[in-house]
């Protein structure tokens, strides 16, 4: 029974990863050869195509650096502002806080397109367009509602005794937040940081409408490249895709255990609500 | 601990500034602009009431876009939830290296929507693609790329979305399934319940609130479908894969019809708000 399940999981995972494996093979120069029946592959593996990225898109490596830095800063900012709010929401006794919490999930579901057009206009007026800060702040804001929802669930599951003890000891609000609550939900905070990083890294519309080309992230560069109908041969495109996927894959590889703490709804939610 | 009014304000202020400045205020400014002829490049602004909404709603292209996105959401969201749940169900019991399988399965979601568009453009096409390779292996003739076919283009974009999002649904549902106490499964097994009824009676009631939240996120994402389609088809062939988000983007940034762009964007927000109201009602009822 257990073996059957393992086989089923392996088959499903294999099916989902097949397109990626195909792309990975193309990136190292192993390409399909249709001339034979049945078709097979050509070419010895090579790393040349990774070097070709810089030839096709000279600023690619710079864009990779911009993406990385913007995503790191945006993820940290998101969690930094979402955590206190999530705590307040979880400990609040106001009526309607449930609706507010669910409102954050609705806000997280709101497509960026719904406000991207005026956001671009306003950013231009306050001179935040085409700046690294403007893009980072906007990315942080877009992902913040989801972070509030997830962190709220984690805080909601915590017993309040630790906080009560700290209050009796005379600890202030921010001390309790930093020294008592944060360590207790550290795995969820770490998992949220990882997920936010992925969302920021992959975001297209926000950095696209907030730049006229000065500050570019990888998704914007990809869209520019293909919108202007420039041809890119498949191995180079595949290499670029793999290079921009690699940091995320490594991140998830390192944090795969911590990511188990990323839950949309704390289990204790129902008892508290 | 008991929070005072002051505590609440202190704790919410940073979030309020960030979301207020970059999300709420742009949205509201956009909303008021939709009732005028405002556009970033014009100086004379006139109030026109519902004129912009009437224009957009009477545009046959926008009608096509709404029809496409409705099909997209109605097909993609249940498929993502169903597939995601099925895989999570397979993974619910501990097996060797479960967290590794879970991490590996997350890989498609890590591919950005735009990169997925680029990738599938090549995977669908003849010489380089995986589709024609598999067909050739089965001894079948090569098929033309579905993204150039009016009848298949929308289905192809849906398939890519499901490929990317179903693993993420598994990732989100698994904690809920794992948290179900073992006794519940054992009781059901002892009572001779078949696997189908174990899912319906044991698993689904437990993960229903979670499914509702995931469904909300997926619906919002589908209604805003943009990135992948922009790169894959640009809305074509014809209007076969045009979505409201692509329509807004095109109006605002390509044809410089800013009022139409902002107005159609607000219609997307309106659609998500309706779904959101239903979500809040449903999850409120459940918790009693």
Residues 6 or more apart whose CB falls under 8 angstroms from that of B233 comprise B147, B153, B157, B240, B241
B13 within a domain of the structure (yes/no):
no
CB A62 within 8 A of CB A213: no
- End-to-end alpha-carbon separation of chain A, Å? 39
Question: B26 in a domain, yes or no?
Answer: no
φ, ψ of residue A31 in degrees (nearest 5): -115, 155
Could you tell me if residue B116 is inside a domain?
yes
CB pair distance less than 8 Å for A103 and B283: no
Are the beta carbons of B19 and A144 separated by less than 8 Å?
A: yes
Which of B17, B130, B216 lies closest to A22 in CB terms?
B130
Any A CB within 8 A of B32 CB: no
Torsion sign (Cα): B89, B95, B98, B101: negative
Contacts of B275 in chain A (CB under 8 A): 106, 109
Contact B19 A145 (CB under 8 A): yes
The answer to whether residue B221 neighbours chain A at the CB level (below 8 Å) is: yes
- Alpha-carbon span A73 to B100, nearest angstrom: 28
Residue B80: what pLDDT? Answer: 97
Q: Do B122 and A102 touch (CB under 8 A)?
A: no
| pLDDT < 50 regions, chain A | 267-273
| Contact (CB<8Å) A248/B110 | yes
**The CATH number of the domain where B209 resides is what?**
1.10.3720.10
Q: Is A108 on the interface with B (CB under 8 A)?
A: yes
Would B177 be classed as within a structural domain?
Answer: yes
Buried b (16+ CB within 10 A) or exposed e, B20-50: ebbbeebbebbbebbbbebbeeeeeeeebee
- What pLDDT score does B288 carry? 38
- Cβ A119 vs Cβ B262: under 8 Å: no
Range of the structural domain that residue B88 is part of:
34-287
The closest of B173, B205, B168 to B89, measured between CA atoms, is: B173
Cβ–Cβ of B40/A124 closer than 8 Å? yes
User: What is the pLDDT, as a whole number, of residue A18?
Assistant: 92
Instruction: With respect to residue B1, please indicate whether it lies within any of the assigned structural domains.
Output: no
Which residue, A264, A139, A206, A98, is CA-closest to B19? A139
Residue B18 included in any domain: no
- Chain A contact set for B91 (CB, 8 A): 9
Whether A99 has its CB under 8 Å from any CB of chain B: the answer is yes
Residue with tokens 């437990």: B206
Strands (E), chain A: 31-33, 40-42
B168 touches chain A (CB under 8 A): no
End-to-end CA distance of chain B: 25
Residue B20 lies in a domain: no
The sign of the CA dihedral B265, B269, B272, B278 is negative
Interface test with A, best of B114, B134, B205, B226 (most A CBs within 10 A): B114
Judged by phi (left if over 0) then psi (alpha if -120 to 50, else beta), residue B198 lies in alpha
- Taking the CA of residue B160 and the nearest CA in chain A, the distance in Å comes to 11
DSSP H helices, B21-152, are 25-33, 51-58, 60-90, 98-105, 107-110, 113-124, 130-137
**Which of A102, A166, A173 is the closest to B283 by Cβ?**
A102
Q: Complex ipTM above 0.85?
A: yes
List of domains in chain A:
2-46 (no CATH), 52-272 (1.10.3720.10)
Pick B114's closest partner by Cβ from A13, A109, A204. Answer: A204
Instruction: List, in order, residues 6 or more apart from B155 with CB less than 8 Å away.
Output: B146
Q: Is B40 on the interface with A (CB under 8 A)?
A: yes
Show pLDDT as tens, one digit a residue, over chain B (288 residues). 778 888 889 999 999 999 999 999 999 988 988 998 888 877 788 888 898 999 999 999 999 999 999 999 999 999 999 999 999 999 988 888 888 888 899 999 999 999 999 999 888 887 777 877 777 777 777 777 888 888 899 999 999 999 999 999 999 999 888 888 888 888 888 888 888 888 888 888 888 989 999 999 999 999 999 999 998 888 878 899 999 999 999 999 899 888 999 999 999 999 999 999 999 998 876 553
Report the pLDDT value the prediction gives residue B132, as an integer from 0 to 100: 77
Q: What is the pLDDT of residue A39?
A: 67
Q: Nearest chain A Cα to B5, which residue?
A: A92
Residue B130 placed within a domain = yes
Task: Check B114 against A223: CB less than 8 A apart.
Answer: yes
Q: Work out how many domains chain B is built from and give that number.
A: 1
> Are A249 and B110 within 8 A, CB to CB?
yes
Contact in structure between B89 and B199 (CB atoms under 8 Å): yes
Spatial CA neighbour of A189 closest among A147, A137, A142, A250: A147
DSSP for B17-34, written as a single string: HHHIIIIIHHHHHHHHHT
pLDDT of residue A229: 64
Of B254, B25, B227, B259, nearest in space to A119 by CA: B25
Q: What is the pLDDT of residue B202?
A: 85
CA distances from B217 to B61, B81, B213, B214, B222 (A): 26, 11, 6, 5, 9
Structure confidence at residue A36 (pLDDT): 64
Does the distance separating the beta carbons of B122 and A237 come in below 8 Å?
yes
């Amino acid at each position: 029974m257990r073996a059957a399940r393992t086989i089923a999981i392996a088959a499903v995972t294999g099916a989902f990863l097949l397109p990626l494996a195909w792309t990975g093979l193309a990136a190292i120069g192993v390409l399909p050869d249709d001339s034979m029946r049945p078709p097979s592959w050509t070419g010895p593996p090579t790393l040349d195509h990774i070097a070709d990225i810089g030839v096709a898109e000279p600023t690619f490596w710079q864009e990779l650096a911009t993406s990385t830095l913007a995503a790191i800063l945006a993820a940290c900012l998101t969690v930094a502002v979402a955590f206190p709010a999530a705590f307040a929401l979880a400990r609040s006794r106001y009526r309607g806080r449930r609706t507010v919490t669910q409102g954050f999930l609705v806000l997280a579901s709101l497509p960026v397109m719904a406000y991207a057009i005026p956001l671009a206009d306003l950013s231009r007026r306050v001179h935040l367009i085409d700046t690294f800060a403007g893009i980072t702040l906007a990315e942080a804001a877009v992902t913040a509602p989801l972070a509030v929802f997830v962190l709220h669930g984690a805080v909601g599951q915590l017993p309040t005794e630790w906080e009560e003890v700290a209050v009796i000891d005379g600890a202030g609000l921010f001390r309790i937040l930093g020294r008592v609550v944060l360590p207790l939900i550290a795995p969820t905070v770490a998992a949220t940081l990882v997920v936010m990083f992925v969302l920021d890294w992959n975001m297209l519309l926000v950095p696209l409408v907030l730049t006229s080309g000065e500050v570019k992230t990888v998704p914007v560069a990809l869209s520019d490249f293909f919108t202007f109908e420039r041809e890119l041969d498949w191995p180079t495109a595949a290499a670029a895709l793999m290079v921009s996927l690699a940091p995320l894959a490594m991140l998830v590889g390192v944090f795969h255990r911590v990511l188990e703490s990323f839950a949309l709804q704390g289990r204790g939610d129902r008892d508290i609500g | 601990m008991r929070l005072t009014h002051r505590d609440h304000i202190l704790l919410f202020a940073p979030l309020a500034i960030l979301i207020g400045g970059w999300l709420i205020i742009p949205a509201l400014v956009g909303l008021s602009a939709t009732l005028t002829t405002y556009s970033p490049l014009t100086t004379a602004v006139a109030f026109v009431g519902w004129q912009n909404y009437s224009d957009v709603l009477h545009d046959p292209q926008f009608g096509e876009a709404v029809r496409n996105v409705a099909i997209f959401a109605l097909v993609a969201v249940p498929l993502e939830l169903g597939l995601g749940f099925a895989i999570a169900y397979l993974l619910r019991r501990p097996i060797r290296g479960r967290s590794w399988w879970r991490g590996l399965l997350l890989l498609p979601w890590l591919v950005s929507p735009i990169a997925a568009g680029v990738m599938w453009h090549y995977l669908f096409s003849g010489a380089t693609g995986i589709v024609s390779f598999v067909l050739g292996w089965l001894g079948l003739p090569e098929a033309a790329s579905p993204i150039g076919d009016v009848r298949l283009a929308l289905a192809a974009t849906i398939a890519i979305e499901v490929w990317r999002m179903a693993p993420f649904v598994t990732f989100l549902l698994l904690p809920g399934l794992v948290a179900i106490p073992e006794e519940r499964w054992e009781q059901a097994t002892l009572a001779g319940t078949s696997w189908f009824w174990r899912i319906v009676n044991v698993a689904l009631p437990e993960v229903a609130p979670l499914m509702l939240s995931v469904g909300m996120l997926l619906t919002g994402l589908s209604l805003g479908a943009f990135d992948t389609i922009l790169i894959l088809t640009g809305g074509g062939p014809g209007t076969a894969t045009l979505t409201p988000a692509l329509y807004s983007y095109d109006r605002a940034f390509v044809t410089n019809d800013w009022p139409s762009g902002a107005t159609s964007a607000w219609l997307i927000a309106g659609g998500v708000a309706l779904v959101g109201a239903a979500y809040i009602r449903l999850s409120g009822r459940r918790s009693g």
